[in-house]
Amino acid sequence: MSLERISSNRSFGGWHKQYVHTSRTLHCDMRFAIYLPPQASETNKVPVLYYLSGLTCTDENVMQKGGAQRLAAELGIAIVAPDTSPRGDSIPDDPEGAYDFGIGAGFYLNATEAPWNRFYHMYDYVVKELPVVIEAHFPVSHVKAITGHSMGGHGALTIALKNPEAYTSASAFAPIVNPINVPWGQKAFANYLGEDKESWKEYDSCELIKQAKQHVPMLIDQGDADSFLEEQLKPELLQAAAEEASYPVDLRIQPGYDHSYYFISSFIDDHIRFHAKHLLA
């Protein structure tokens, strides 16, 4: 389980580093970034906040534009940002080169349909393989939380809902909350999971929240000027599902904010403080 470090930058007294490793789950080399706060040492293992990025993004988007390092350094929280899909010349991609499916758009699920099912197991990678790698190589504890943006917000919420014992808290920026009923999700799920729409529910936050037996503290921010709000995101559907299931969700609609990292960086401190209450409890 070797790692190749490809970059290292001092940041707020800690370190931002990028690594490549060979993933047994995805059958390709994968890159991830980690921010280690100054408190992290072999005698002081810090908790981890996993950040899942959205369509077309990589680990670099949040680390370079999210502005999370300052408060993470102050509070003593590591941040890990994986890539959004398997990558490489052997990885199947959208035949038309579209941005919303294939490379860069793994949707944090385990594909069951060929040819995607050999490589596109981002759910298992994030939930099972990557934490083992992180905890084996860095001074971090097993205590972890999860957050994400857009497709990554979908991933963060569904992963936390399916694994409530593994994550202290979950949050999301402009998540795709009901992918089985919006174009992005329908395209991805039909290709990755096939035509049996019952199987799609396994990766849908609205469906999962109705079945939840254990609650994970949850914070969601959504801008009301988001160009994807009405067609792709539909946060009101998650709010309705949560109310029906008596599942506590703090959903905040932020006036004037769009889908960009200007939005994320405006509220990232709120999310880190939210997670810190649970990670450091």
Residue among 16, 121, 149, 259 flagged as catalytic? 259
**Residue 22 to residue 32: CA distance in whole angstroms:** 11
User: Which DSSP letter does residue 230 get?
Assistant: I
Residue among 59, 83, 204, 226 flagged as catalytic? 226
- Token duo for residue 63: 């680390």
Measure CA 24 to chain center: 20
Q: Please list, residue by residue across 186-216, b when 16 or more beta carbons sit within 10 angstroms of its beta carbon and e when fewer do.
A: ebbbebbbeeeeeebebbbbbbbbeebeeeb
Asked if 161 contacts 203 with a C-beta cutoff of 8 angstroms, the reply is: no
10 Å CB burial of residue 269 (0-12, 13-18, 19+) is: middle
SS3 57: coil
Q: Is 258 a catalytic residue?
A: no
Side chain identity at residue 26, one-letter code: L
Residue among 11, 23, 150, 171 flagged as catalytic? 150
**Residue 152 to residue 155: CA distance in whole angstroms:** 5
The DSSP H or E segment spanning 135 is helix 130-137
Q: Is 227 a catalytic residue?
A: no
Strand partners, 34: 17, 80
Please name which of 190, 144, 168 lies closest in space to residue 46, comparing C-alpha atoms: 144
Torsional class of 221: left (φ above 0), alpha (ψ -120 to 50), beta (otherwise): beta
Q: Is 204 a catalytic residue?
A: no
Enzyme catalytic residues = 150, 226, 259
